[in-house]
Amino acid sequence: MSDMIRNIFDTHAHYADRAFDEDRDEMLASLPDKGVRYVVLAASSIRDTVENSRLAEKYDYIYCAAGIHPEFADTNPDNYMGTLRDTIRSNPKVRAVGEIGLDYHYEGYNKEKQIRLFEEQLEFASEIDMPVIIHTRDATEDTMNILKKYRPRGVVHCFSGSAETAKEVIKLGMYIGFTGVLTFKNAKKALRALEEVPMDRLLLETDCPYMAPVPFRGKRCDSSMIAYTAEKAAEIKGLPVQELVDITCGNAKRFYGIV
């Protein structure tokens, strides 16, 4: 890439992940010099929720979310809501509930428990008037039915659905987040979906340490790599890459209430 892309807003990252244990502080201290302006840390568990909040307190440019991923529906402690509430109350940099949703990909998943956990957190977000970050995997129909019922302010992150589903999500007033998947060889479906997303509802994200864009596919991802995802998105949208990054940064600031 020739000129450095600036104003990057990574709307979904996991820097509390153990993949960053060796060099977390070095990495986080270096990102602003690589064009990264803001990062929102998504939470999957109680541990993440607490760790994210600590990292957001430490770094000016970092904000975070608090929430429980469907993968933890079985092991999540009964009193989790108390921790979510306490974290949000004590740290104004917590700006969303998430990531929450449904994941029917894992063997032995418990559909009823996942739906209950999802709905509890949607109700909670609505009660405290916060946006939600939605995770959905192999569960499009149930997820869409629940979103239609609750109509949250939210983003469907790491979007992997069809163009039709993207249209439905947009019709609900929600945002759509795309990762490095856009740059993969088999990304046709995601690129078709991207065509359906109006520029004012588009968010960029890494989902790091996962989903590194080409040419880093399979390696540990970090927020600076969004430049490659943005380049692909800009090609589809017919915009200069820096302009696309600026627009998505504005969208993300509006979405997470950052002024």
Binding residues vs Zn ion (CB under 5 A): 42, 207
Cβ 14 to Zn ion shortest distance, Å: 6
- Whichever of 155 and 194 has its CB closer to Zn ion, that residue is 155
Hey, what amino acid is at 5? I
- Whichever of 5 and 42 has its CB closer to Zn ion, that residue is 42
Coil/strand/helix, residue 28? helix
Cβ 207 to Zn ion shortest distance, Å: 5
- Whichever of 109 and 241 has its CB closer to Zn ion, that residue is 109
Residues 6+ apart with CB under 8 A from 140: 161, 165
- Whichever of 11 and 183 has its CB closer to Zn ion, that residue is 11
Question: Please, are residues 250 and 35 in contact by the beta-carbon 8 Å criterion?
Answer: no
Q: 10 Å Cβ neighbour count for 149?
A: 10
Structure tokens at 192: 């078709």
| Angle of the 163-171 helix axis to the 188-195 helix axis, nearest 10 | 30
Cβ 133 to Zn ion shortest distance, Å: 8
- Whichever of 9 and 234 has its CB closer to Zn ion, that residue is 9
Cβ 95 to Zn ion shortest distance, Å: 15
Hey, what amino acid is at 249? C
Cβ 176 to Zn ion shortest distance, Å: 14
Residues 6+ apart with CB under 8 A from 63: 38, 39, 40, 41, 56, 93, 94, 95, 256, 258
- Whichever of 157 and 234 has its CB closer to Zn ion, that residue is 157
Cβ 2 to Zn ion shortest distance, Å: 30
Per-residue b/e over 65-80, b at no fewer than 16 CB within 10 Å?
Answer: bbbbbbbbbeebeeeb
CA 160-166-170 angle, to 5 degrees, is 140
Nearest Cα neighbor of 210 from 152, 160, 141 is: 160
- Whichever of 51 and 207 has its CB closer to Zn ion, that residue is 207
Cβ 72 to Zn ion shortest distance, Å: 13
